[in-house]
Amino acid sequence: MSSRITILFLLLFPILNACVDNGQYANSSEGNSPSLTLAQIDQEIIAQPRNAALFAKRARFQEARDSLTAALKDWQRAVAIDSTQAAWRIGLGDLYFRIVELQRAEEQFMKAVRLAPDSTEARLKMAEIRLLDKDFPEAMRWVNDALRLEQENPRAYFIKGWIHRQAGDTTLAISSYHTAVERDPQYYDAYVALGLIHSAKGDPLALEFFNTALDLRPNSVEAWYARGMYCQEQGQDSMAIASYAKIKEIDPQNATAWYNTGYVMLQHQQRYLDARIEFEKAITLLPNYANAYYNLGLTYEFEEQLNSAKAAYKQALVLQPDMDLAAEGLDRLQRRGVPMAN
């Protein structure tokens, strides 16, 4: 189901996001003042056109607005003005990472390592690159190198956890994540990661970790979704529906929350009318949602509205021609005498 695909995304999300929102440079208050405006930074740059820090400030501002092309130009300008600053190299590498130009990102991170031999940040960026390459020994080497410089670094233990997790050793992954939260009890990503591992095992500890993550970030769609999926798979229907309801409150345009609510109502509770309403809302929000059309077809079939079921199954196949379940649904309807010709 599409919900399982989203869980796979959640497993990789902290690493994919790491180069964007972690580290001393990306979180610099200089570029994130709530009263800061682009016009103000522009005026500062006009007054000091050779100040690399101002271009870095504007780059962070542009990234926060998702103006990535403008941000890239500013990071490149900061590096051109002062190529000796590891901070600018890491900022530029982060942006290359974000736009999935990994070779260019690696080049910048390696330059940062050479410029700042005592920087754990640059080494952890390289570990993330190697992890995405699935070069686990090399990723671990970079992490251990960083830990030799800073033994208590929680991010390093978090990345060790991801390396172990991706290598298939959940026991060591859990150990590393626990070390990360021991070093930093506010480490949201580590609690989500622990929740996901325990969720995959059907372990009730998953709920505790997701709840802790939500204590830290009450409006995290990621954590509410993971909590909902755990409860859904454990048959805790009311808690699953409540988790998806929270997502709808935070992000009313989130089609998956409506879809998953409908799935629980259909598959677990046989609330066909209520489920149909949820699937229809999901389709309104995401018109190419093939799984929603398929499950909408199921609700119609259970309600004996067979022509409507046929239309929904056909639309699912239009959107996803290899969907066997939708094809099987049409076969069932045909055996019951429903004409397939429009």
pLDDT of the chain along its 342 residues, tens only?
344 333 333 444 444 444 433 333 333 334 444 467 899 999 999 999 999 999 999 999 999 999 999 999 999 999 999 999 999 999 999 999 999 999 999 999 999 999 999 989 999 999 999 999 999 999 999 999 999 999 999 999 999 999 999 999 999 999 999 999 999 999 999 999 999 999 999 999 999 999 999 999 999 999 999 999 999 999 999 999 999 999 999 999 999 999 999 999 999 999 999 999 999 999 999 999 999 999 999 999 999 999 999 999 999 999 999 999 999 999 999 999 999 876
* C-alpha 249 chain-centroid distance: 19
Rounded to whole angstroms, how far apart are CA atoms 241 and 315? 27
Say what the pLDDT of residue 11 is. Answer: 41
Say what the pLDDT of residue 255 is. Answer: 97
**Which CATH architecture describes the domain 1-28+48-116?**
Alpha Horseshoe (1.25)
Which pair of structure tokens corresponds to residue 330?
A: 């049409």
* CATH number of this structure's domain 252-342, picked from the four choices 1.25.40.10, 3.40.50.10680, 3.30.460.20, 3.20.20.80: 1.25.40.10
Do domains 1-28+48-116 and 252-342 share one topology? The answer is: yes
In sequence order, the 6+-apart residues with CB closer than 8 A to the CB of 185 are none
In DSSP notation, 157-196 reads HHHHHHHHHHHT-HHHHHHHHHHHHHH-TT-HHHHHHHHH
Rounded to whole angstroms, how far apart are CA atoms 322 and 84? 54
Which class for 27: exposed (0-12), middle (13-18), buried (19 or more C-beta within 10 A)? exposed
For the chain, what are the domain ranges?
1-28+48-116, 252-342
